[in-house]
Amino acid sequence: MTLKTYKLLLIFCSFTLAQILNGQGTTVGLLSIDKAKVSEGLTLFTPWYSKNTYLINNCGQVVNEWEHEVDEGLSSSALDEQGNLFLLREDSLSMYDWEGNRILSFNGDAWEMNFHHDFTLLPNGNVIILFDEKIAIEEAFELGLDSTLYNDPQDYFIIDGFAEFDISNDDEISLVWQWHLKDHLIQNLNPLLNNFSKPEDQPHRLNINFNAPEHDLLDWTHFNGVDYNPMDDLLVFSSRSTSEIYIIDHSTNTSEAADSIGGSFGKGGDFLWRWGNPTQYGQDTSFRQTYLQHDPTWNLYGSNAQEGITIFNNENEEGSASSSILSVVPSKDVDGNFNVSEGRFGPDLPAWEYVGVEDEFFSPIMSSAQLQENGNYQSCLGRFGKFVELTTEGEIVWEYQNPVFNEIIPQFQNPPATLTFSITKYPLNYPGFTNKDISPNSIIENFNSISNSCIQSTSINDLSDLQRTNIYPNPVRDILQIENEKEFEKLEIYNVSGSIILKNKFNSSIDISHLPKGSYHLKLQTSDHSEVYKFIVI
């Protein structure tokens, strides 16, 4: 029996064992995958009850992992184009490098802001963070607040806004732009106040006495997601309380952002567009599309890249136990301005939607959705920590159950609600992965036969991968040898900081005697394939 035949036999046996074990009912980690249809990429997520943020591949293998200081809480996480992790947990934003070192951490206390829920990264390195602020209840009444809308008296009122920070100097974080919702309110209660207007006459502003399932002075508008469009310098964001999403102009300066003039669109900080629940500005209920939605995200791919927006719609109608994913392209006129037709911002219907099966595709809170490069949509059912990817035809091609709830949940044990606020999938060519080791490690949970099958099928698709490259000796003092059957073209060596220290044409013997003691990564490349190996110099 040849070596190749022996390895193929082992793989066949592992497939058979996997099928037997699958009958026991996999409960955590990878639940299903269609490798021919799932998008290629790495998924980033931070469980609510965990000190760790994980980056996993489609088979559920951990590619990188970060440990942070706070061990639980609502968390939004993202990678910048240098591979640094940004984490907003509770009221603080932190930044970690690829190796897990914390570079900065700050909260909004110095600016009398409370950071919460979400943030978005800008191409210039700045960050925009969602915050809420306290205003005296007397000021809220001067803005036209209807005191009959709430039951619990308070001496202050909490309302949302956005703040942009320059974090290039971690010793001196500076606030460079801000937008406050309180500057863009109208009311139809008191005609003696300056902001008195009918909501249908002022759709670019929010009626402070909007329709809501419940009103809470300490969580009035409940903004829950924000994303930045670099093409037009716009922000899109979501309010759970109003069941609407909004677009504002970020090209304004701070004084223009507090006004109704200025910026590229000439409307200052007023809404350029709003969508989902036009009853909030006097329109008919039949045009309502969104209920308690989360995570409006600009589409990066497709014919409407940076124009279309994907939304996770928590309820398909009030009180339903079914969620949906919506993709909407805001209506504009010939000059590129967002327009109002028949009293409404368009369109009346989304460009695409997936309506989930009741009690199966559902999360009443949190959650996210994101368009992928191959046209699929990846989504997080946040209340239950379940991640799915589906095609435009509604076929689910990837399912993953967050396996972390304080501790790692053993396989075959039914998981509790492993809350996860949102997830983000990055393509393999994302700039943040350049010169980073993204070779897979083990899965998070103790065992997963579906992951094992996925990993093995990855190898069997290319039989050349069965003849794994061997590097030796390891640890090494002077000459590193490479034993391989592939036709590598070049090699690169990186230190643990990700800096390249050697780049040559491929050679099966490498003199590393000049390198200081420590750990390194060797990257071997063909025209369409690369492999990364760790080695230690002693």
DSSP string, 285-311: GGG---SS-EEEEE--SSTTTTT-EEE
Domain segments of the chain as ranges? 3-458, 468-537
Please choose, from the candidates 239, 179, 251, the residue with its C-alpha nearest in 3D space to the C-alpha of residue 207. Answer: 239
**Is it the case that residue 19 has pLDDT exceeding 60?**
no
Give the C-alpha separation, 291 to 107, whole Å: 30
C-alpha separations of 170 from 85, 173, 176 in Å: 15, 6, 15
DSSP state of 223: E
Rg over alpha carbons for the chain, rounded to the nearest Å, is: 26
Label residue 387 by pLDDT band (50, 70, 90): very high
pLDDT at res. 208: 97
Locus of tokens 């004084």: 255
pLDDT at res. 18: 40
DSSP state of 416: -
**Is it the case that residue 278 has pLDDT exceeding 60?**
yes
Mean pLDDT of 300-324: 95
Give the phi and the psi of residue 112 in degrees, each rounded to 5. 55, 45
Give the C-alpha separation, 381 to 365, whole Å: 8
Give the C-alpha separation, 347 to 327, whole Å: 11
pLDDT at res. 499: 64
Predicted structure pTM score: 0.82
pLDDT at res. 463: 36
Locus of tokens 């009221």: 91
The pLDDT tens digits of the residues spanning 153-186 come to 889 999 999 999 999 998 899 999 999 999 999 9
DSSP state of 16: H
The pLDDT tens digits of the residues spanning 211-262 come to 999 899 999 999 999 999 999 999 999 999 999 999 999 999 999 999 999 9
Label residue 134 by pLDDT band (50, 70, 90): very high
Please choose, from the candidates 343, 347, 342, the residue with its C-alpha nearest in 3D space to the C-alpha of residue 332. Answer: 347
CB atoms within 10 A of CB 24: 10
Q: How many CA atoms lie within 13 A of 121 on its CB side?
A: 20
Assigned architecture for domain 468-537? Sandwich (2.60)
Assigned architecture for domain 3-458? 6 Propeller (2.120)
- Sequence-ordered list of residues with C-beta below 8 angstroms from that of 211, at least 6 positions apart, any chain: 242, 279, 280
Please choose, from the candidates 245, 263, 242, the residue with its C-alpha nearest in 3D space to the C-alpha of residue 254. Answer: 263
- Residues 45, 423 contacting (CB under 8 angstroms): yes
pLDDT at res. 468: 57
CA 396 from chain center: how many Å? 19
Label residue 202 by pLDDT band (50, 70, 90): very high
pLDDT at res. 528: 57
Please choose, from the candidates 87, 93, 125, 95, the residue with its C-alpha nearest in 3D space to the C-alpha of residue 106. Answer: 93
